[in-house]
Chains A and B, each alone.
Chain A
């Protein structure tokens, strides 16, 4: 691991540049194997159907392929959105070096979430129906989510395309795109706000099947607030892991204020969350001796944890603490979504769901694709900011 000496600081942030280096290492090989396992399982799934692979049933028609791959996967992919909002809406240009790596993670997260939906569609060959006006049901939450996420995926690829234009020396195309980029950036901020909140609305329409700890009219707001703060958490996580894995210096001077913004959103979220619970009189549920109540407390402990980890300015200087705060927040987001969609979801007596091994392996494979793709693109394409390497033996 890098032991920086004082002569290296502070690092100048140049234009983005490929990290370089070999593409065959332990991380890519393990990811490759996991992706291959996933592909094999998916062949079985598409030939013999969902029942052959998953533990889904009529009571639990949505398993981890929806909840983890799509709902949580797209929340994790909010880094690009959160940072772009900070840079372009609140005009904080100093965060600009974080945009591209965050956008890359978002791009992968969302594209895989979009593909992941097809795995979970029973009659997946009809997936195009949702884009066909004759089949559209404009009153459906799912329709809004599907269209909005699809549009956002396209917008993000366009937003990210300058990276490819630079790589392949297409200066003309980049120049043309730059003229309309402001419009794409605006769309790229509005669209995630729409569908991240609608992912919460999906739970609202499930009514009393959702435990009162999660069933509230404010779900869209709760999902949006957590998605934004998770976005910052992911940036902390991703910057720290990239720095650790690529032996780069950490943009601590950017991450410190970013962590403060994150805590601001989180504080607002917790006020709304508990205010809503008290106002609805649902907090009593949390004190019943149930697994659901335990899951509720784990979820909220994880949302409170960042305040304890990086609450003070001194603590925020420590990248290890920034990393742990990011992880805690991401896990909190995981629990909020798992709790709402699966753990706190009761569809009647007798119904049961726990993901099967092949189901788990597909979800793991999806994350492996993200890791693999992130490594390949950052090593070969100009994503991470170029840095003056500290003198090192």
Chain B
């Protein structure tokens, strides 16, 4: 019997209030919590805890810093395909400082940041978007007269947790590609301690939301790997769950954009798809939350490996990926094997000619041997006759 704790929550007044606030039906809200819990790989009961936390708990204060970036991460969260996702994000968190979204400007904004940090000291979440320039004392990115390094250190000092969103904040991203004139670096290197990273260019908003809801519900961030990436989203290669994987295994590859294999939806590995060396959940939750089937590989473009340091923005897009598990052979066995042809006119003729020549040669040898034998026997006969003659005389 399924866990019924979630169903009981349908009668709960606080859940009803939360769903009203979010403009969704109660059922939709609970389904959403269940889906998010499943995405996180949490056990039964967690979805109820999440729904309860979203409905009742005080929203965590979030300070969102922007450094060297394109604001794509924020854009992807705001323009999420899911109609209520951005509402949910903004409802789940109390976004106290966000340069893109603030109506206010200048000293007013700085004052808001200081106020939030003071009020939620040790409890707020710090989200960093964009790489931090470190060359020449970090002068290549300043806000309110402070360098990115100073701002980051100041805000991180009293934060409950730091989340680096996007590849730039996670490991330097696009700004850190060679020759990297500004010395762009990821958050954890600047802070000198591991932080939760949600790489991607942009990352899927679900991955961010799930991380935050996990923090909200359980008071801690979800388990992460050695690079700080939440395991629920980054423990599998794109290649592993790719919808085109069967084509890879069968050796059916698109060799050129627009060729027959490409039109038939074959594997994009040979066009430079970085799925085999990129850890991300794009094939399951789809990159960018842009709607069904519209993730890059789904619409025929090779994965560029945007989440993976050393791959995204580093390797040329059409360079063949280094496979993390198995190299495909150059050739594959045919699905339907050739079963062989019978004798052809040519091969039968060659065989017959050889047999004929051998038979002829054999006959000649035998004939000659026979003739010499006859001659020998005749000689012997003559000899015998001569000797008997002699004996007779």
A residues with CB within 8 A of B: 1-6, 9, 55-60, 240-241, 243-244, 250, 317-320, 323-324, 327, 350-357, 359-361, 364
Contacts and interface: CB of A to CB of B under 8 A. Distances in A.
A46 B337 CA distance: 22
Given A356-B347, A364-B354, A323 B338 contact: no
B331 to A, nearest CB: 9
Contacts of B344: 354, 356-357
Given A4-B375, A6-B383, A244 B369 contact: yes
A357 B366 CA distance: 29
Contacts of A351: 339-340
User: From DSSP, what is the main secondary structure of chain A's interface residues?
Assistant: loop
Q: Top 10 A-B pairs ranked by shortest CB distance?
A: A320-B370, A352-B340, A320-B369, A354-B343, A57-B340, A319-B369, A1-B368, A6-B379, A320-B366, A350-B339
B372 to A, nearest CB: 6
B373 interface: yes
Contacts of A359: 347
Contacts of B350: 357, 360-361
Contacts of B372: 1-4, 319
Nearest to A356: B347
B112 interface: no
A354 B373 contact: no
A317 B369 CA distance: 11
A60 B338 CA distance: 11
A125 to B, nearest CB: 15
Contacts of B351: 355, 360
Interface string B59-82: 000000000000000000000000
A6 B380 contact: yes
A353 B369 contact: no
Given A6-B379, A9-B376, A359-B347, 19 more contacts: A2-B372, A3-B372, A4-B379, A56-B340, A57-B337, A57-B340, A59-B340, A244-B369, A250-B369, A319-B372, A320-B368, A320-B370, A323-B366, A350-B339, A351-B339, A354-B347, A357-B346, A357-B347, A360-B350
Interface in B346-371: 346-348, 350-351, 354, 362, 365-371
A352 B342 CA distance: 6
A64 B321 CA distance: 43
Contacts of B354: 360, 364
A354 B341 contact: yes
A4 B372 CA distance: 7
Most buried by A among B346, B370, B372, B373: B372
18 contacts: A1-B371, A3-B375, A5-B379, A6-B383, A9-B376, A57-B337, A240-B365, A244-B369, A250-B369, A318-B373, A319-B369, A320-B370, A323-B365, A352-B339, A352-B341, A354-B347, A357-B344, A357-B347
Interface in B127-143: none
Contacts of B382: 6
A320 B373 contact: yes
Contact of A58 (B337, B348, B369, B379): B337
Contacts of A60: 340
B369 to A, nearest CB: 4
A240 B368 CA distance: 10
Nearest to B371: A1
B342 A354 contact: yes
A35 to B, nearest CB: 15
Contact of B339 (A5, A59, A250): A59
Contacts of B340: 55-57, 59-60, 351-354
Interface size class of B (residues with CB under 8 A): 20 to 34
A52 to B, nearest CB: 13
Contacts of A244: 365, 368-369
User: From DSSP, what is the main secondary structure of chain B's interface residues?
Assistant: helix
Contacts of B346: 357
B385 to A, nearest CB: 12
B366 A324 contact: yes
B347 A355 contact: yes
Contacts of A354: 340-344, 347-348
A146 B342 CA distance: 30
A240 B339 contact: no
A15 B341 CA distance: 53
B341 A320 contact: no
A3 B379 CA distance: 10
A355 B371 CA distance: 38
A323 B347 contact: no
A350 B338 CA distance: 10
Contacts of B376: 4, 9
Nearest to B349: A357
A100 to B, nearest CB: 22
Contacts of A250: 369
Interface string B169-184: 0000000000000000
Contacts of B338: 57-58
A354 B348 CA distance: 9
A58 B365 CA distance: 41
A5 B383 CA distance: 10
A324 B372 CA distance: 15
Interface string B311-349: 000000000000000000000000001111111101110
A4 B371 CA distance: 11
B222 to A, nearest CB: 46
Nearest to A56: B340
Interface string B264-288: 0000000000000000000000000
A356 B382 CA distance: 55
A185 to B, nearest CB: 31
A388 B343 CA distance: 51
Nearest to A250: B369
A365 B354 CA distance: 12
B321 to A, nearest CB: 26
Contacts of B342: 352, 354
B26 to A, nearest CB: 62
A353 B338 CA distance: 11
A354 B342 CA distance: 5
A324 to B, nearest CB: 6
B341 A323 contact: no
Contacts of B370: 318-320
Contacts of A361: 350
A351 B372 CA distance: 50
A84 B343 CA distance: 41
Most buried by B among A59, A60, A318: A318
Contacts of B341: 55, 352, 354
B369 A57 contact: no
A318 B373 CA distance: 6
A357 B373 CA distance: 39
